[in-house]
Structure 1
Amino acid sequence: MKNSQKKELAVCGFEAVKALAKKNPDKIRRFYYTEDRMNCFGDLCRFLAKHRVPYNKVKDDKELEKLCGSVHHQGVVAMIEQPEILPLDSDITDIWVRQNESALLLDRVGNANNLGAIVRSAAFFGVKNIIIPLDEAQSSVTTSSYRVAQGGMEYVNVYSIKSISKLLMALKGKMLRLGTDVNASVPVEKIRDLRKGKPVIIVLGNEEHGISKEVKQNCDELIIIPFAGEGKKVGERPIESLNVAQAAAIVLYECR
C-alpha cells in the first residue's frame, strides 16, 4: 500500500519487517507493532529511538490494517520511503558480465504476489538482480510483493527497462539469454551445459500469455520444465504449466 502524499510504502509481515530491521533499519520512517510483537523488535526500537524515528504500540489489529491495507500484517508495519526502481544501463550490465552475475527478467508478470514469490526464490538462490519493464501490465514493488518476498526484497536489486528486446539484443554474446516456454524442447536441466561459464539472464513470462514472440526471438535458447506425460501437446496436458513463481524457483535452482 502506498501513501501518495508522503510517498511511503507500508512493509508488513513478520519476516519482511524482521529482514528490513536487520539489514536496512535506516529506511524505516515509522514503526508500528502489536503488544505480542514488542519483544521481537527490541533492538529495532532502540535503534529508532537513538535516531529519533517514531515507533508506537497499537491498540489492536485494525490500526495496522488501516496502515498497510492488509489483514496479513502479522502484527507489524514499517513505513518506508517508496522504493526507487533504478533504470538499468550498460554500466550495470557490464559489471554483471565481469563478475559473472546472473539476472531475472520479467516479461509483464502482473501479479504482485507472484513478483514477491519470485524475489524470495531469487534471494534464496543468490540471484540479486531483478529486471522489470516499464509497462502497465508489470507489477512493481508493493506492500503485497514485499510481504510475500518474506524478507527477500532486502537482498535483491530491482531495475527497470523501457524495452525487453533492446536489452536482450544488447546482451547478445555477453550473457546466456534463456526464455521459458511451454512449447520448448530444451529441458531446464540442460542450463548447466548451456552456460559454459557465462552469466545467465532468465526471461519469465506473463502469467497468461508467457513471453512475447519478439522476446523469444531474442533469446539464445527456450527452455521447458519437463512434465508428466512426455510427448503430449499443451492442450493434452492435465495442467498446462506451472505458476510463474514456481517455475522461477526450479530454473534458479538449475542455474546455481
Structure 2
Amino acid sequence: MAEYIFGRNAVLELLNSNKVEVLYVQKGNLKGSIEKIIGKAKDDKIVIKYVDKNKLDNISQGGTHQGVAAAVLEYKYFQVDDILNEAYEKKEDPFIIILDEIEDPHNLGAIIRTAEVAGAHGVIIPKRRSATVNSVVHKASAGATSYLKIAKVTNITETIKYLKAKNIFIYGADGEAKSFYNETNLTGPIGIVVGNEGKGITKLVKQNCDELIKIPMFGNINSLNASNAAAIILYEVVRQRNEEK
C-alpha cells in the first residue's frame, strides 16, 4: 500500500533516502527547489507525473503540498535491537526516546525531528493508542523519518524492562516528579519516556521508570506541548553529553 508524502522539504529528504516510487509535480510549477527535486528524481530514474493542482490537493487532503508530492511504500518499522545496534556500531551510549501513547501525528513528527537532530538513536512507539508514521508525520518530521530508526512495540512496559536489562537507565518526564531535568545526570545509556498529550505517562509505565524528571513551570499554565517538552529534555541530554567529552 502506497503512502503519499507532500511538501518540498519532506519530498527532497525522501528522494535522498531512495524511498520514492512516483513523483507528482504540479504542471507549470517548476521554479525554485522544484527544479532540484525533479533533477534528483530524473537522476534516480523515478517516474515523474505532471498533474493539475486538484490532483495534489486530493493527495494532500487539504495540506500544504507546495506543488509536489511523492508516493512511497508504507513505512517499515525497525526492531528495538536495531536501535541498540545503531548506538553500539557508533560506539555511543544508547540514547532512545520512548513515546507512551502520543496521539497527535504532528507531535509525533516534531519529536522524531528533534530526536534525529539531537543525535538520538531511535524512537519507540506502541502499536495501540498511538499515532503511527504516516504522511502527516513524515511532513512534520521534515524528512527525519527517513534517517531515524522507529520501532513499534506491543507493550511499552515490557520494552522498558528489556532496555533496563540491557543496562539502559529509563527516565520518565512527569509533572509530579521531584527531580528537575536540568539537575539530573542524563549521561550514559538512557531512555527518555514522554507521555500522552493530556494524560501524561500511564501508571504502569511510570512505575517502571528508574527516575522521574520534570521541567520547571513558572507561569499560569502548568504544562507544555509534548513535543516542546521532549525537545527541552533531549537538548539537555545533548548539553550534558557534550560537556562530558
TM-score bucket (shorter structure) = 0.7 to 0.9
Q: What's the secondary structure of 1:217's corresponding residue? A: helix
Q: Structure 1 residue 38: deviation in Å?
A: 4.8
Match of 2:155 among 134, 143, 163: 163
Is this contact kept in 1: 2:98–2:192, CA < 8 A? yes
Q: Is contact 1:119–1:153 with CA below 8 Å preserved after alignment?
A: yes
TM-score, normalised by the number of residues in structure 2: 0.87
Q: Structure 1 residue 199 and structure 2 residue 207: aligned?
A: no
2:93 to 100, 103, 113: 100
Matches within 5 A, 1:3-82: 7-21=1-15, 23-24=16-17, 26-34=18-26, 35-49=28-42, 51-60=44-53, 62-82=54-74
2:80 to 88, 101, 104: 88
The answer to whether the 8 Å contact 1:96/1:199 transfers is no
The answer to whether the 8 A contact 2:83-2:122 is kept is no
Q: Distance in 2 between matches of 1:194 and 1:113?
A: 26
Is residue 225 of structure 1 aligned with residue 215 of structure 2? yes
Number of equivalenced pairs: 234
Which letter maps to 1:8? A
Instruction: Give the distance between the partners of 2:102 and 2:30, measured in 1 at CA.
Output: 34
After superposition, the Cα gap between the structure-2 partners of 1:218 and 1:187, relative to the gap in structure 1 and judged at 3 Å, is same
Alpha-carbon RMSD? 2.0
Corresponding residue of 1:4: none
Give the distance between the partners of 2:151 and 2:198, measured in 1 at CA. 23
CA contact (8 A) 1:128 1:155 kept: no
Superimposed CA distance per residue, residues 3-57 of structure 1 (whole angstroms, 9 cap, x where no aligned partner) = xxxx011111222112222x21x31111012233455244543453455432122
Instruction: Give structure 1 stretches of 5+ with no counterpart.
Output: 1-6, 230-237
Residues 164-206 of structure 1, C-alpha deviation per residue, up to 9 Å, x if partnerless? 1112112226112000101111111124x253xx221000001
Distance 2:198 2:76 in 1: 28
Q: Percent identity?
A: 30
SS of residue paired to 2:208 = coil
User: TM-score, normalising length from structure 1?
Assistant: 0.84
Given that 2:5 and 2:138 are in contact with CA atoms closer than 8 Å, whether structure 1 keeps it comes out as yes
Distance in 2 (alpha carbons) for counterparts of 1:121 and 1:92: 16
